[in-house]
């Protein structure tokens, strides 16, 4: 049985003919004036050669799968910290009291992804005010958001990601068609459409899917350059999309290496075009810089980006590859271990699945061996290798599942080549046998992954159940310790006043230190940035305090314990020496929680001066003496608010069971003592997550990933509500019996 003629009719490979509608002689595709090989005049999908029905089919399948899960994960709330952060920062560009400020004041990620959501939320506000009359004013709109009425915001952001994810599949169809045939393009697009990682991360408000779209768009132009189309349109297009991708998330900058490879391939084919090629390459870099500036201008205008992100990241990358002064954190694994760990995550059931990973490796080998497909294969392989290197070597933490989404389109292309080559085999037995072996696991794994994923995300979220239990059983204004800020608790007025007073104290302290420092010195710039950050936070907390007056639920005297497990990189970040993340809360926990005979929680945190001084590894580098002095100076006591003893503590399994292994107990004695004391002397309510956990390979076997398993597994289950949550009653310390753990299923 041959492949249906309707597929072959639209193939554009060399020597492939297309019948005319009149039934006359076959006519070949459009030919280049300088080469005898056909090419598309547009790097995008050529609608004349790609039937619209296939474009529509790919888009509908991809968009439908991605929309299927956007109303899960605790909706209308969100308990995924990254998603909450992205939505909050997108809304924060406008404030009821200060107006519009497009400076994100935070450069861990560029701004274009936030600008996208800000525009979408602006359209939603206009519709809500002038069409359905839900909001009376911008302040009313902001009040709804600040009071955690954010269901519509999460839906809009998630649906936007689903749209860009589906559009990426359509774009991949065109790339595969131009690289091989319509069959390759269609297979690649459908494979990406059902790949679990690309589907799952299009269902949360993260920027990885949009960055992947920009990378694929840039690759479409780069592929045209590599095939001999060295024209300004392709160079400028590649530069623009690389710049826009960098403005969404920094990783697409790796495609600069692919652009250089395509340029050298083009010059090698036609050496006489080298002078013109240098001009075109320069125009590509200029377009990239301009696009990056338009997409995220404050990365260029605000020196904070260079001081706090770019410079430390380049230093970290240099240390990882051995070309910089200083040492990598002692707990950081070698580069080859990080790469192996990233590859394992890439092959897991929640990213690419093991069958697709194996098939893509086979396809890469087949494409490299095929002279006709070798240029595109080299460019795609360059993209994969450079991206994988940067995602591991330049990452301060580790490579997580969402970081690897950008690799999935290239893997889908290689997998499509493998399937296409198997189908073209002349031997029927080999064709059908290998097709059955390679194809049957592919729908099996994604279908099973999607079914398990949807079952998990639409099950009642354990964090939401914990929030509802607090609202029903804990009186308003009770002092609640929010471990890791896992629940969206609104502080009461007294707590807001304390926060604002603390911010004012920190600002005044930095101003006093600036007066005695030389203007322009490292310490002076440090305090200048610190003041700007606190002033930005003050505006936010003032708005939240005003909006909280209209909050319809109970408010508490909330104490946030910021100790994300991601920070556990080494002894230098031991909680006994680390001051905190935003300067408002200290990481040092109360070793003995509040109770009738215990002092207030906040008072216990002031005793840091008695702790042994420890210097983080990054401050031991030459030239950072002022930062070392500043670090030790800020270890001393901060102002505290006289408050009630802590009455309740809410924490998740990822925290209270995180210190059971020997190496964790040795490296983090403070947190070990804290959670041991909690579990030994206080009653609690445990809300059971109850989700199905599975092995990373995707095989349907039970797998209970403990907190000491690799971090990416813990992270994957945190935002789907798989972890149990405990609410500890700190009002009475138990000494005469074993504490009671009452489980709520």
pTM of the model: 0.81
pLDDT in tens, 707-729: 444 443 344 444 455 688 999 99
Higher pLDDT, 262 or 54: 262
Sorting pLDDT into bands at 50, 70 and 90, what band is 301?
very high
161 closest CA partner among 107, 220, 218, 116: 116
pLDDT in tens, 21-65: 444 444 444 444 444 444 444 444 344 456 788 899 999 999 999
Sorting pLDDT into bands at 50, 70 and 90, what band is 568?
very low
CB-side neighbour CA atoms (13 Å) of 385: 11
Contacts of 403 (CB under 8 A, 6+ apart): 208, 251, 391, 395
**Angle of the 374-393 helix axis to the 311-321 helix axis, nearest 10:** 100
Mean pLDDT on 566-594: 38
388 closest CA partner among 335, 454, 326, 460: 335
Cβ neighbours of 68 (radius 10 Å):
17
228 closest CA partner among 38, 389, 411: 38
Mean pLDDT on 110-125: 96
Whats the size of the chain, residue-wise?
745
Query: What's the CA gap between 503 and 489, in Å, rounded?
Result: 20
Mean pLDDT score across all residues of the chain: 78
Is residue 487 within 8 Å of residue 465, measured between CB atoms? no
Mean pLDDT on 605-626: 43
Query: What's the CA gap between 226 and 382, in Å, rounded?
Result: 12
Query: What's the CA gap between 200 and 73, in Å, rounded?
Result: 11
105: left (phi over 0), alpha (psi -120 to 50) or beta: left
SS3 breakdown of the chain: % helix, strand, coil, rounded to 5?
60, 5, 35
Looking at residue 447, what is its pLDDT?
Answer: 79
**Sheet with 648-652, edge to edge strand ranges:** 557-561, 479-483, 648-652, 725-729, 684-687, 741-744
Residue 462, judged by CB atoms within 10 A of its CB (0-12, 13-18, 19+), counts as buried
Sorting pLDDT into bands at 50, 70 and 90, what band is 171?
very high
Domain segments of the chain as ranges: 5-69+158-313+345-456, 462-490+551-624+643-744
Query: What's the CA gap between 301 and 322, in Å, rounded?
Result: 31
- Given a cut of 90, whether residue 439 has pLDDT beyond it is no
Query: What's the CA gap between 87 and 114, in Å, rounded?
Result: 8
- Given a cut of 80, whether residue 189 has pLDDT beyond it is yes
**Which residue has tokens 């690649």?**
188
Residue 727: strand pairing partners: 650, 685
Query: What's the CA gap between 156 and 160, in Å, rounded?
Result: 6
Looking at residue 22, what is its pLDDT?
Answer: 42
Mean pLDDT on 217-235: 93
Structure tokens at 17: 């003919």
- Given a cut of 90, whether residue 205 has pLDDT beyond it is yes
Alpha helices in 394-492, H assignment, sequence order = 408-423, 428-439, 441-457, 462-473
447 closest CA partner among 22, 23, 41, 65: 65
216 closest CA partner among 258, 272, 273, 187: 258
Query: What's the CA gap between 441 and 452, in Å, rounded?
Result: 16
């Amino acid at each position: 049985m041959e492949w249906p003629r309707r597929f072959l009719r639209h193939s554009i490979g060399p020597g492939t003919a297309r019948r005319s509608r009149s039934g006359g002689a076959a006519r070949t595709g459009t030919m280049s004036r300088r080469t005898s090989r056909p090419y598309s005049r547009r790097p995008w999908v050529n609608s004349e050669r790609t039937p619209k029905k296939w474009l529509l089919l790919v888009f509908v399948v991809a968009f439908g799968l991605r929309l299927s899960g956007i109303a899960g994960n605790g909706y209308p709330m969100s308990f995924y910290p990254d998603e909450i952060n992205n939505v909050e920062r997108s809304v924060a560009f406008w404030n009821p009291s200060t107006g519009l400020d497009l400076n994100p004041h935070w450069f861990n990620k560029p701004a274009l992804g936030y600008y996208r959501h800000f525009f979408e939320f602006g359209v939603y506000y206009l519709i809500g005010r002038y069409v359905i009359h839900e909001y009376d004013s911008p302040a009313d709109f902001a009040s709804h958001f600040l009071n955690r009425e954010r269901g519509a915001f999460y839906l809009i952001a998630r649906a936007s990601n689903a749209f860009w994810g589906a559009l990426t599949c359509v774009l991949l169809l065109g790339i595969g068609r131009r690289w091989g045939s319509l069959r390759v393009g269609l297979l690649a697009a459908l494979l990406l459409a059902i790949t679990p990682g690309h589907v799952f991360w299009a269902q949360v408000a993260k920027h990885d899917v949009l960055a992947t779209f920009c990378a694929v768009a840039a690759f479409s132009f780069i592929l045209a350059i590599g095939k001999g189309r060295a024209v300004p349109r392709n160079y400028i297009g590649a530069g623009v999309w690389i710049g826009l991708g960098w403005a969404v998330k920094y990783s697409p900058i790796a495609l600069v290496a692919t652009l250089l490879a395509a340029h050298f391939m083009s010059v090698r084919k036609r050496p006489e075009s080298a002078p013109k090629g240098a001009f075109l390459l320069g125009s590509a870099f200029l377009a990239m810089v301009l696009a990056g500036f338009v997409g995220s201008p404050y990365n260029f205008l605000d020196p904070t980006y260079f001081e706090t992100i770019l410079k430390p990241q380049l230093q970290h990358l240099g240390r990882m590859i051995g070309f910089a002064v200083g040492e990598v954190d002692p707990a950081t694994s070698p580069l080859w271990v990080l790469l192996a760990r990233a590859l394992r995550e890439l092959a897991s059931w929640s990213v690419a699945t093991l069958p697709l990973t194996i098939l893509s490796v086979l396809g890469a080998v087949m494409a490299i061996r095929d002279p006709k497909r070798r240029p595109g294969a080299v460019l795609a392989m360059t993209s994969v290798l450079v991206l994988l290197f940067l995602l591991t070597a330049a990452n301060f933490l580790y490579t997580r599942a969402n970081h690897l989404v950008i690799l999935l389109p290239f893997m889908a292309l290689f997998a499509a080549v493998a399937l296409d080559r198997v189908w073209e085999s002349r031997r029927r037995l080999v064709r059908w046998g290998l097709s059955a072996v390679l194809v049957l696991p592919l729908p099996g794994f994604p279908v099973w992954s999607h079914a398990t994923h949807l079952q998990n995300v639409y099950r009642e979220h354990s964090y939401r159940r914990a929030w509802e239990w607090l609202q029903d059983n804990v009186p308003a204004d009770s002092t609640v310790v929010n471990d890791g800020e896992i629940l969206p608790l609104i502080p009461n007025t007294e707590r807001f006043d304390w926060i604002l007073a603390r911010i004012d104290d920190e600002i005044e302290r930095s101003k006093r230190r600036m007066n005695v420092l030389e203007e322009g010195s490292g310490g002076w710039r440090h305090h200048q940035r610190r003041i700007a950050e606190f002033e930005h936070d003050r505006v936010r907390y003032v708005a939240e305090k005003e909006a909280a007056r209209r909050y319809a639920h109970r408010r508490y005297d909330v104490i946030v314990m910021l100790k994300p497990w991601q920070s556990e990189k080494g002894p230098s970040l031991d909680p006994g020496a680390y001051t905190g993340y935003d300067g408002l809360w200290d990481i040092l926990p109360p070793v003995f929680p509040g109770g009738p005979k215990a002092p207030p929680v906040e008072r216990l945190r002031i005793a840091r001066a008695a702790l042994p001084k420890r210097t983080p590894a990054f401050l031991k580098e030459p030239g950072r003496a002022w930062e070392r002095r500043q670090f030790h100076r800020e270890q001393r006591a901060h102002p505290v608010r006289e408050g009630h003893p802590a009455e309740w503590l809410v924490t998740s399994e990822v925290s209270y069971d995180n210190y059971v292994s020997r190496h964790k107990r040795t490296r983090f004695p403070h947190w070990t003592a804290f959670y041991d004391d909690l579990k030994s002397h206080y009653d609690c309510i445990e809300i059971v997550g109850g989700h199905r956990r599975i092995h990373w390979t995707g095989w349907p076997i039970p797998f209970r990933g403990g907190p000491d398993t690799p971090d990416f597994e813990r992270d994957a289950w945190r935002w789907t509500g798989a972890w149990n949550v405990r609410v500890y009653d700190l009002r009475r310390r138990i000494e005469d019996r074993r504490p009671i753990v009452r489980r709520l299923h």
